[in-house]
Chain A
Amino acid sequence: MSNKVIQAMYNDDDILMDAVKDVRAANHHIEEIYTPFPVHGLDKAMGLKGTRIAITAFIYGCIGFVFSIWMMDYMMIKDWPQDIGGKPSFTFIQNMPAFVPIMFEMTVFFAAHLMVITFYMRSKLWPFKKAENPDPRTTDDMFVMEVSVDENESELISFLEKTGTVEIKVTEKQ
C-alpha cells in the first residue's frame, strides 16, 4: 500500500466542517487535519475518540494527595516529632488540620504538572521538536485535510474539489 495522501486546503472552518462530513459519508479515510485554532466539534465530526487526559489528571492528583500525607506523616510524626509552641506532633490525626493546606497544594501540583507532561509526551511536544504541519499557513488561516489515497487518486481529487477546497496537493507521506 502506498503512503500517498491528498492534502486538501480550506480557508474557512465552516466549509471544512461540511467537507469532513462529506468525506466521511463517502467512506474515505481522513488521515489528519491541521487547523490554526480549535474548531469546535471537529474531533466528533472526524470520529476521534474523546481524550482521557482528564482521567490521568485525576489519578495524578490522587498520587499527590497520598504522597503529601505520607511525606508529612513521615517527617513530622515518625522521623522527628517535635513539640512546637506547646503543640506536640505525636499523632497524625491530631496534627492533620495543619497539614490540609499542603495536602491541597501537593494535589494540585502533581495533577497539573504531570497532566501537562503527559499532554506534551502524547502530542510529541518538546523543545527542539520539529514541527510537522504540512504548510506554514496552517498556523495562520488555512485548514488542511489529509486524505489517504487507495488507487482512486483522480476520483478522490474530483470528489474533494467539490467540497469547497481552495488548493489540492498529492504528496508522499513518510
Chain B
Amino acid sequence: MSSHYEAPIRRPLIIGEKSYHDISVDVAAPIEGKANKLWWTAFTIALLAFLWGIGSITYTIGTGIGVWGLNKTVGWAWDITNFVWWVGIGHAGTLISAVLLLFRQKWRMGINRSAEAMTIFSVIQAGLFPVIHMGRVWNAHFVLPLPNQFGTLWTNFNSPLLWDVFAISTYLSVSLVFWWTGLLPDFAMLRDRAVRPFQKKIYSLLSFGWSGRAKDWQRFEEVSLVLAGLATPLVLSVHTIVSFDFATAIIPGWHTTIFPPYFVAGAVFSGFAMVNTLLIIMRKVSNLEAYITEQHIELMNIVIMITGSIVGCAYITELFIAWYSGVEYEQYAFLNRATGPYWWAYLLMMSCNVLSPQFMWFKKLRSSIMFSFIISIVVNIGMWFERFVIIVTSLHRDYLPSSWTMFSPTFVDIGIYVGTIGFFFVLFLLYARTFPVIAQAEVKSILKSSGEQFKKLRDGNHE
C-alpha cells in the first residue's frame, strides 16, 4: 500500500470503516430514499418565495423600473447589490474545485460537488439582476455583438459592463461543463445501481454513457487538471471585472484601484460562508457526516478567517487612502459612509465582516459546528451590507447637495431579492435529492490514503 502513503499527522478525511461499496451506498441513499417532511417544508417555503419573486419580476417588467425605490440620485441600489452578492457567493465553488485541485488539497473532494452546484445556482441568480434592470428585457440580446438592423452597430468593447457580460457567461458555462464532467462517473454509478426503469433511463441519459475505461480516466484527469488551470485565473478575473464596473467610474468611493483584489477576497469570503451554511445542514440531513467531516468545516473556517481579514485590511486601506489622497470629495465619501445617515449599515458591515471572522482564531470556536453555522449566516449578511454600503452610500450624497437623498426599497425590491433566494434554494433542494452530492469516484480514490481505518492500519492504532 505504499502508493497510498499519507503522513500520520494528517487527520482522516473519511470517518469510519468504509469500503468502496459503502461510499456508493451512502452517496446514493438520499437519491434512492424518500424525501422527509423537513425537505418538503423547506422546498415549499423556497417555492413560495420563488413565486413571490416571479410576481415581483413580472410587475417590474410590466410597469417599469419605476416600481423600485430608485431615484435620480441613487440609480443603482438593491439590484446591483444583489447581483454582486450572488456573484460573490458563486466564487467559492470554482475556488474549491479548481484552486484546491491545483494545490492538491484532498479535502476538497468531500465538498467540491455541492460547492460547484452552489456556484452555478448563485450565478444564475446574479445573472437575473442586470437583465431585469435593463427594463426592456426583450432587448437583452443587445448586449451580445450580433449583427443588427442599425447598419450593424456593435457593442462597446471599452465598457466594463460588456466585459462583465463576457466574464459572467464564460464563468457560468465553464463552471457548468467542469461540474458536469465530474458528474459523469457518479451519474454512471447511480445508473448502474438504479432498480426502477425510469431512474435508470434518466441516469443513463445524464451519464452520457460513461463506462470507466482506463483511457477515459486518463483523459478525465487531464481534462480536470487543465480545466482547473483555466478556471483559476477565470474565477479571479470574474470578480475583478465586476469590480471594474465601479472602479472605472469616477464616483468618489468607487474610483479605487484596490477594488479588484478586495472584491475577489470578499467574494471568496462570502462564498465559503455560503458553502458552510449549506453543507452544515446537508451533512446532517443527508447523513454525510463521514465525508463532510468537522475538519472540513474547520478548514473552511480558516479560509473565512483569512479572507475576512484581507477584506478588513482593504476597508482600512480605503479609509487611509481617502485621507492621504487629499481629495476632499474622496474624503467626504468615506466620512459620510462611516458617520453619515447610513452609519448603521457601515457598522453592520464592519462587525459582520471584520470582527466576526476573528473568532475563528480560537480552535474551540472554529471546530464548533453550531458556532460555524452562526458565523456563516453573519458573514452572508455582512457581505450583502458591504455591497449596499459601497453602492448606495457613494451615490446618495453626490456633488450637488440639493440632490442629496436617501434610498428606501419598495416591496418589489424586497420581493425580487427574496425571490432569488427562493429560486436558489429550490434549485439546491432539488439538486440534493437527485444528484450525487459527493464526488464519490474521487472520494474512493483517496479512501486508502485518507480513510480512517486505512490510516489506523498503516500507522498503528494511536488511540
Contact = CB atoms under 8 A, between A and B. Distances in A.
B166 A84 contact: no
A38 B221 contact: yes
A141 B158 CA distance: 54
A32 to B, nearest CB: 6
Interface string A130-174: 111100111111000000000000000000000000000000000
Contact of A99 (B153, B157, B184, B230): B157
B260 to A, nearest CB: 11
A116 B223 contact: yes
Given A36-B441, A75-B145, A123 B212 contact: no
Nearest to B178: A112
A122 B219 contact: yes
Contacts of B204: 130-131
B217 A35 contact: yes
A140 B209 contact: no
A139 B170 CA distance: 32
A129 B215 contact: no
A104 B170 CA distance: 10
Interface stretch (A1-9, A21-29, A46-54): A46-54
Nearest to B439: A37
B308 interface: no
Nearest to B442: A37
Given A37-B445, A115-B223, A139-B185, A72 B157 contact: yes
Given A32-B214, A40-B3, A131-B211, A53 B191 contact: no
A71 B152 contact: no
A78 to B, nearest CB: 10
Interface in B192-240: 192-193, 204-205, 207-223, 225-227, 230-231, 233-234, 237
Contacts of B157: 72, 75-76, 95, 98-99, 102
28 contacts: A14-B3, A35-B214, A37-B185, A38-B220, A39-B217, A40-B445, A42-B214, A54-B222, A80-B151, A95-B157, A95-B158, A104-B237, A108-B231, A108-B233, A108-B234, A109-B174, A112-B178, A116-B181, A116-B223, A119-B181, A123-B213, A130-B204, A131-B204, A131-B209, A132-B213, A133-B192, A136-B193, A138-B212
A133 B170 contact: no
Interface in B410-463: 441-442, 444-445, 448
A48 B189 contact: no
Contact of A33 (B154, B162, B188, B213): B213
B237 A84 contact: no
Contacts of A111: 226, 230
10 closest Cβ pairs, A-B complex = A129-B209, A141-B20, A136-B192, A75-B154, A125-B208, A37-B444, A37-B441, A133-B211, A101-B163, A139-B189
B163 A53 contact: no
Contacts of B35: none
A108 B174 contact: yes
Contacts of B212: 34-36, 133, 138-139
Contacts of B84: none
> For A113, A115, A127, A140, which residue has the most chain B Cβ atoms within 10 angstroms?
A140
> For B154, B163, B212, B441, which residue has the most chain A Cβ atoms within 10 angstroms?
B212
A35 to B, nearest CB: 6
B185 A140 contact: no
B379 interface: no
A104 B240 CA distance: 12
Given A34-B212, A39-B445, A40-B3, A105 B170 contact: yes
Nearest to B180: A116
B73 interface: no
A130 B166 CA distance: 35
Contacts of A54: 222, 225-226
A43 B205 contact: no
Contacts of A112: 174, 177-178, 227, 230-231
Interface residues of B, number: 69
A128 B448 CA distance: 34
Contacts of B214: 32-35, 39, 42-43, 46, 48
A36 B185 CA distance: 8
Nearest to A129: B209
B188 A127 contact: no
Interface string B141-161: 000010000011111111110
B207 A84 contact: no
A19 interface: no
Contacts of B193: 136, 140
Interface in A81-103: 82, 84, 87, 89, 95, 98-99, 101-102
Nearest to B240: A101
Given A98-B158, A112-B174, A130 B445 contact: no
Contacts of A46: 214
B38 interface: no
Contact of A89 (B20, B158, B192, B445): B158
Nearest to A134: B211
Contacts of A132: 209, 211, 213
A126 interface: yes
> For A75, A89, A130, which residue has the most chain B Cβ atoms within 10 angstroms?
A75
Nearest to B441: A37
A9 to B, nearest CB: 13
A94 B266 CA distance: 33
A105 B237 contact: yes
B326 to A, nearest CB: 26
B208 to A, nearest CB: 4
B1 interface: yes
Nearest to A107: B230
